[in-house]
Structure 1
Amino acid sequence: MVNVPSGRIVLSDRRTERKWTVDVAACRMSAFPITQSQHARVTGLRPSASAGERFPVESVSWWDAVRFCNLLSEQEGLAPAYRLFDGEGIEWESSANGYRLPTEAEWEHACRAGTTEPRYGDLDEIAWYRANSEERIHEVGGKQPNAWGLYDMLGNAWNWCWDIYDAEIYDTYRVLRGGGWYDEHWSCRASVRRRSHPTFRMDDVGFRITRSDPAA
């Protein structure tokens, strides 16, 4: 987990051409996407399509990621961030000190690491994507981190975020950020938003975790 300082980020949506500003509080974020070995240690499960201890865990739904956060919190004696109800009910306990998914504002703020360009470095140096991945996933940390010490923010595996993408059009679909190993270069940019149903599992989608308390 690394410290992400507070800041302000302008989010944008290409479909609606809408822009909105979000103030982001300081937090801590995992330096790498959650790996298959970490996921197995917490849950006992190995769902990924491509096996590798240091590969990002993938083929995990948004709900799988949420449950991982709560399990890890409980195992470390922290207050779970999410209250789960029957069916698809969920509440985020914002005062809890446990692990959670980043909001998309937190994710983009952390990805940019103080920069204003579409990427925090040369894409071939910072990301696994279609042009250099040999169309397969890779171990985390194989490319250069951003200025705040976060690896694989772009490429390798998309990251689930907490937010609903667009409730009016897409109902409960959740936000994905970052691009993956099979994506073209234009999908691997800090501002790109993708969506998926929270129950869907895909071999290029994983997640990283966040905690609200920067001193934790």
Structure 2
Amino acid sequence: MADGLLTVHKGSVHLADRRTQSTWTVELETFRLARYPVTRAQYAHVTGQTPGTTRGDRLPVESVSWWDAIAYCNTLSALEGLTPPYRVDGEEVEWDAAADGYRLPTEAEWEYACRAGTNGPRYGPIDAIAWYRGNSGERVHEVGELRANPWGFHDMLGNVFEWCWDLYDPEVYGTYRVLRGGGWFDEHWSCRASVRRRSHPSFAVDDVGFRVGRSGAPTASA
């Protein structure tokens, strides 16, 4: 990948859901995550497609569904000689956790990387770190324009929501998947590290994109 991945060392993260008033802790192994969301240029290079109506190579790709994101991960993995992590059979998808290819982060990985060792709702002043309704001009912005978090990740909050691997609440919402981070049209309260949103995996919306990761620490050949 042109922008590379940053290594996130193992640790634990506490998650919470306001709707159900539940909290839980997840222990995480070392993983890697992209510094930026996938851009339009990256997406076009891998898939040959340019979804959405915005124009600009450094803009985060948007109007992509969860299924689109899964397909991108598998295709990019194959292009780089890695094992694709997702096995798709119709409407069923299985994640091969042993695969070394690109994948979506889990929501626990996403929040852990977003917080980057901080404890507040955000890793910095919102206008310095996130494009949201108050400062975006109601449009998407190029990745990396605002301040990174302490671990070097840009645009974890604001700009575009990001798809995660996880089902949101299968007993209530079926196949809906988790979205994290908030977007350029959201109010400030939606751009917080702990906020969970959901969408149907087939929906493609103009403030939803994704970033990719890989399992494990880098090797000499990675």
TM-score range, shorter chain: over 0.9
Query: What's 2:55 paired with?
Result: 51
Distance (Å, rounded) in 2 between the aligned partners of 1:121 and 1:106? 19
Tell me how far 1:213 sits from its aligned partner: 2.1
Root-mean-square deviation (CA, aligned residues, Å) is 0.6
Distance (Å, rounded) in 1 between the aligned partners of 2:184 and 2:53? 13
Tell me how far 1:49 sits from its aligned partner: 2.4
Query: What's 1:83 paired with?
Result: 87
**Cα contact 2:130–2:157 (8 A) shared by 1:** yes
> Identity rate of aligned residues, in percent?
61
Query: What's 1:21 paired with?
Result: 25
Distance (Å, rounded) in 2 between the aligned partners of 1:135 and 1:25? 37
Distance (Å, rounded) in 2 between the aligned partners of 1:62 and 1:52? 22
CA-to-partner distance for each residue in 1:112-164, whole Å, 9 max, x for gaps?
A: 00011100000000000000000000000000000111000000000000000
SS of match in other structure, 1:12: strand
Query: What's 2:10 paired with?
Result: 6
Query: What's 1:204 paired with?
Result: 207
**Cα contact 2:29–2:216 (8 A) shared by 1:** no
Query: What's 1:60 paired with?
Result: 64
Distance (Å, rounded) in 1 between the aligned partners of 2:58 and 2:180? 20
Query: What's 2:151 paired with?
Result: 148
TM-score if structure 2 supplies the norm length?
A: 0.96
Structure 1 segments unaligned to the other structure (5+ residues) = none
Distance (Å, rounded) in 1 between the aligned partners of 2:186 and 2:44? 27
Structure 2 segments unaligned to the other structure (5+ residues) = none
Residue 173 of structure 2, aligned match among 158, 167, 170 = 170
The letter for the 2-side match of 1:110 is A
Query: What's 1:186 paired with?
Result: 189
Tell me how far 1:48 sits from its aligned partner: 2.0
Query: What's 1:40 paired with?
Result: 44
**Where do 1:89-100 residues align within 5 Å?**
89-100=92-103
The letter for the 1-side match of 2:78 is E
Distance (Å, rounded) in 1 between the aligned partners of 2:33 and 2:9? 10
- How many residue pairs were aligned? 215
TM-score if structure 1 supplies the norm length?
A: 0.99
Moved over 3 A (4+): none
1:106 aligns with 2:109: yes
Tell me how far 1:106 sits from its aligned partner: 0.1
Query: What's 2:129 paired with?
Result: 126
